[in-house]
Amino acid sequence: EGARSLSLAYDVSGGQAEIQPVSSLVVPSGLYSALKLDLKGDGTWNTVYLTMTDSTGEVFIYRVDSINVTTWKTVTVDLTKAPVSSAGGNADKVLDGPIALTKIYLTRNGSQPPTGTVLLDNIRVVGDGWSVPASSRSYFTPSNGESTSFTFSAGSVGDYALQLKDSSGRVRVLSGTVSAAGTQSVDWDGKDAGGSQLLGVVNAVLSYDSVPDGVLAAQPVSGGVVGITTVAEPVGAAALLLDFEDSGASWKKTAGSVTLGGSTSRTQGATSLSLAYDVSGGPAEIRPVATPISAPMNAFSALKVDLKGDGTWNTVYLNVTDATGEVFNYRVDSMNVTTWKTVSVDLTVAPSTTSGGNADKVLDAPIAVTKIYLTRNGTQPATGTIFLDNIRAVGDGWTSPTSVNPNNQDNFVPSAGQSTEVRFSSATSGDYELVVYDSTGLSRTFRGTAASPGMISLIWDGRSDSGTVMAGSISGRLSNDTSADGTLSTTSRSIGVTPYLTGIAARIEDPNNPSLVGVSADIAYAALPVDANARAKLAEDAFVHYDREEFGWDTIEPSKGYFTWGRSDQTVAAATARNLAIVGRLGFSAHWASSAPVGTPEADIASYPPSNLNDYVAYARAVVNRYKADVHVWEVWNEPNGPLFWRPAEDPVAYANMLKATYAAIKAEDPTAIVISGGLAGFDYDFMEVLRQQGALSSFDAFGLHTFVNNAPEKSQSGTWIDSAESYLAKYAPGKKIWITELAWSTCTPGAGCDSGVTEAQQASYLSRAYLDAAARGIAGIVWWNLVEFGNTNNKLDNYGLVDRSGRAKPAYTALAKVGAALDGTTTAGVIAPTADGGSLLLSDMADSSSGSLVNLNGTTSTLSFGSGRHGGVAGASVAYNFGARGTGVRYDMNYPIVGQPTAVSVWTYGDSTNSPIYLKVTDATGESFAGLIGNSAGPVWKRMSLFLDGSNPDFTHSGGDNDGTIDFPIKVTAITIYKSTVSGQASGRVYLDDLSAHFGPITRGVIAVGNGVTTKAIYSLNSTTATIPVTGATAFLRVGKSATPLTISGGGVSVTYGQDPIFVTSAPGVSAVASRTGDAVTFTWDNGDRSDVSISVVSSTGSVVKTLRTHTLYDSGTAKVVWDGTNSGGVATGAGDYRFRLTVYSLNGRSSTVYVPITRTN
């Protein structure tokens, strides 16, 4: 036909001769029974072959004929019969349209002549006018009641069979008979003959014959259509993770050479993702720009990917990241198939490699696709383009397990008889296995069968299969099948893992009375759950309440808008499982957000503030939003008043802006959150003044302070820093509490890397005493930095920890456990009296001018007056002063001899928030003077300030007389001096003074705490001593951590020996008679600290108030008593029955504790 034919002059002596088309020779769409070509041979018996390639890349080799005939003849290649061979593509041996002629070749037949010429012409396909089928829907969801219909044109009468097949091998055949040529339509519900749904990309093969007898011929004409439609998984059984509707805009290249785009060739939605790659230089990799969508908390069996390849055998991989941050590397498939197909990635089998996270090789829900990459396979072409669409996680619709704990807490306490309810929903009938396990390897297994869909509830007592109580963060792994035959399938199943199902704690915590005791457990630095839980256990065993943790910006948001929560989720879960309340520190800068200049050392980049404050605020908002159910205290940055953490130099204006913006963001997410200002390195008045001028004092709920010092807490500057903070807040931000978010002493040995250090014994003692001082002052929280040492060097930073790197607990850890146990569940009632038994002598009521006179120092002007501003007695002294520009202080000279040998002298002061230092001086029999700082003029409250005559006050000095540093009795009080504050620089003010007293007996420092049914006296002395400590109950105990040793009561007190390490004496409040007649009065006695705020009432056995005896009454340190006359609030005598005295103590930090003492009344 036409004007020319193709001539092939060949030589096949060295092998076959082969030609390929320069451009694709695609056959028009349709179904064909044969290929015909006109052939003119050369008389030899050599052979002509041709290859056809279908749309999947499958290559079919057909023998045409020998070339022995030297005249034109037409040869028919029967396409209904199997070819010589086929290979590649989808390997189904069906010509999936469209098809193309891709090769013609000649082969020598035995000893036939190797050379010759053959002519070819008029190659064509022939059929009966039947067309390939088309679907009315490219994507449909049968579980929503959707279906599709297939249409095709029948060119003749005959029988047909339309075979539909998905990637898992499920098949549906729709057959029929055509009685008249024309358009045919066949409906399909998406299911196979047995009612099971086909899933994913569906391929079709239409076969027909020309005899309408109801039986399809053995060798019908057939043609395939790849990806005729896509069937969505049942609703609830699949989670669409990536639909690529944005044409790849939400992904970015992170390695190699790859161009992202969109294509209308897709399986669902409007577009797919196209990846034009070049892997000649290595893998091509893409990652999400922002946080990827996670699958819901369901049990999944597979990840399904719709893939359209480019004919190469290069390979597609993807990474799935689970809830813990563990990355799973899965091979998807090769790219050889050039039409759409659904690839299934088995999620029930661990991939070849995993990394990071909790390293358990189990997909902890929720999961997300976090990387896609392409690799070259051997010598395959390095360039090409592939398409991806419709990536989804599939299962049976069963949910991952959840738990419901008592009182909706994060944990439960098996040792207290508590249990938890574990729930999951079965979307189908089937068998299941639930395994709950902790980080140590203990586990409990539950097995059962769900007869029908519904909620399954299991009660768990917290014990393992062996009966051992488990502990810490608990995970749950659910496996299920859909057979409901009593045996869980080992192959056809879904798995759902909840990594933080619940927690098991050692004891029940009172959420209404949290302890102030805290530590930086640094759980966030632990990579594996076993290490995270080990650190949390250390804190729990030490009765720690607050755990200060870093929510590292760089870890959580490694690139802008891309959040990874694995490490912080693990931190929060490990902490809350053991009743640790997290103090979350927000900062430092992520590397991508830092304002650090180019060339900044890697270690310093984070310490530069963010270049864009909005980025920091967005990060803080995201963190608080995620954890607001579990974390209620947040600290904004760390030590912003120094160059170490705010480089290159402090910038209070910039920090004020950060604090204001972050506070607003936190409160928008969680109005109940407590926001702490970034802990200052010591109190910094100038820094605070700038914050005030910038309007930032209203942008924190509590003030953060760091009190690192080198010497003992009593003689250090830490007390002045706290006083300064109290003074400043009282004046400019009343009501805000102080948090000491870092303090510690290092046990390094002075030398290289260590400018100062203490012994391990000193570290332990200092810790206890600092915590008790904080409790006495009403500090809201105090946090030791840190729990576990950073390293093994002598560097100062490596030796602040309470546990060394080998796991050895230093004495300070034991000290923390003791003070933590003593303060757990209690409220501090105030400072204990300066001496053990409270014995004191009032030297002066300071009610008139006979108390002394003022001496102005260096130009100070002052006025001494007396009036009703008093602590006790009839009046008190008032010192009004003005230092002016040059004045340095005012001295209140006096002369009060003391008979005997006192161990302390005290005076009550009422401050003016200037933080002016107050010194007290005594003079001994030789004329030698001893003076020391007794406190600073803090907020407007009465406070006892004491000069301890053992020399333990800060800035304790001596001079004159025999100048031997030894007090020669008798002594007299000779002066109280108020100095100008070097912190605030405030020039004027007024301080009230009252009740100058001498104290006798062994020096006692410490606090009174009330809670857990008892009063605790936490006491120590800087010199070892034995003393009798008054108690009020019928029994008393010496408490050491969890244990308590009975003490012998004699004369209303117990004899104990104590020194620099505090001891803890407990005794309940007392009553004069546990049982008495209704007409008798009953006396209630209890111990107080200085300025204890107390309410007392009598309540009935049902808790209703019978009579209120005291309401927010202030008491000083010592034993107090109140008498109940047996009447109710109306003065009417009460009847017989059981009653209780109810004592409630209110702390300066806003907390309260209540204890009850029962009594019985009889007629």
Write out pLDDT tens, residues 271-321: 999 999 999 999 999 999 999 999 988 889 999 999 999 999 999 999 999
Contacts 24+ apart (CB under 8 A), 506-509: 506/413, 506/415, 506/471, 506/540, 506/541, 506/578, 507/413, 507/415, 507/416, 507/579, 508/413, 508/416, 508/418, 509/545, 509/579, 509/825
Share of the chain above pLDDT 70, in %: 100
Taking the C-alpha atoms of residue 529 and residue 542, their distance in angstroms, rounded to an integer, is 20
The pLDDT, as a whole number, for residue 416 is 96
Taking the C-alpha atoms of residue 460 and residue 406, their distance in angstroms, rounded to an integer, is 12
The pLDDT, as a whole number, for residue 838 is 66
Instruction: Find residue 569's DSSP bridge partners.
Output: none
Q: What is the mean pLDDT of residues 1126-1131?
A: 96
3-state secondary structure of 196: coil
Residue 534 scores a pLDDT above 70: yes
Residue 746 contacts residue 800 (beta carbons within 8 Å): yes
Residue 492 scores a pLDDT above 80: no
Q: What is the mean pLDDT of residues 1077-1093?
A: 96
Backbone angles phi, psi at 726, to 5 degrees: -60, -45
The pLDDT, as a whole number, for residue 930 is 99
Residue 688 contacts residue 728 (beta carbons within 8 Å): yes
On average, the pLDDT of the chain sits at 96
Region of poorest pLDDT, from 55-59, 642-646, 973-977: 55-59
Most confident option among 62-66, 197-201, 791-795: 62-66
The pLDDT, as a whole number, for residue 494 is 86
Model confidence at 89, in pLDDT bands (50, 70, 90)?
A: confident
In the chain, what are the helix, strand and coil shares in percent, each to the nearest 5? 10, 45, 45
The Cα-based distances of 562 to 287, 777, 1135, 1141 in angstroms read 10, 43, 69, 58
Residue 319 contacts residue 371 (beta carbons within 8 Å): yes
Q: What is the mean pLDDT of residues 1110-1134?
A: 96
The pLDDT, as a whole number, for residue 490 is 85
The Cα-based distances of 372 to 210, 242, 320, 339, 566 in angstroms read 49, 12, 9, 20, 20
The pLDDT, as a whole number, for residue 589 is 99
Model confidence at 512, in pLDDT bands (50, 70, 90)?
A: confident
Q: What is the mean pLDDT of residues 351-380?
A: 95
Taking the C-alpha atoms of residue 356 and residue 352, their distance in angstroms, rounded to an integer, is 14
Model confidence at 491, in pLDDT bands (50, 70, 90)?
A: confident
Q: What is the mean pLDDT of residues 1119-1140?
A: 96
The pLDDT, as a whole number, for residue 523 is 98
3-state secondary structure of 798: helix
pLDDT tens string 867-876? 999 999 999 9
Give the amino acid at 166.
D
The pLDDT, as a whole number, for residue 986 is 85
Backbone angles phi, psi at 1097, to 5 degrees: -145, 165
Residue 748 scores a pLDDT above 90: yes
What order do you get walking across the sheet with 284-288 strand by strand? Answer: 251-255, 284-288, 368-375, 315-321, 327-334, 353-355
Q: Which among 1157, 1158, 1154, 416 is positioned nearest to 826, based on CA atoms? A: 1154
The pLDDT, as a whole number, for residue 30 is 87
The pLDDT, as a whole number, for residue 839 is 85
Q: What is the mean pLDDT of residues 896-901?
A: 97
pLDDT tens string 5-26? 999 999 999 999 999 999 878 9
Model confidence at 236, in pLDDT bands (50, 70, 90)?
A: confident
DSSP H helix total and E strand total for the chain: 9, 76
Share of the chain above pLDDT 90, in %: 92
The pLDDT, as a whole number, for residue 982 is 86
The packing angle between helices 566-577 and 529-541, to 10°, is 30
Q: What is the mean pLDDT of residues 112-121?
A: 98
Q: What is the mean pLDDT of residues 401-421?
A: 95
Taking the C-alpha atoms of residue 773 and residue 590, their distance in angstroms, rounded to an integer, is 37
3-state secondary structure of 850: helix
The packing angle between helices 685-693 and 718-732, to 10°, is 20
Q: Cβ contacts of residue 1035 below 8 Å, gap of 6+?
A: 1046, 1049, 1067, 1068
The pLDDT, as a whole number, for residue 223 is 93
Residue 837 scores a pLDDT above 80: no
Instruction: Report all structural domains of the chain as residue ranges with CATH numbers, in order of start.
Output: 6-126 (2.60.120), 134-231 (2.60.40.4070), 238-397 (2.60.120.260), 404-491+500-504 (2.60.40.4070), 517-824 (3.20.20.80), 840-995 (2.60.120.430), 1001-1163 (2.60.40.4070)
The pLDDT, as a whole number, for residue 621 is 99
For tokens 């759980």, what's the residue?
A: 523
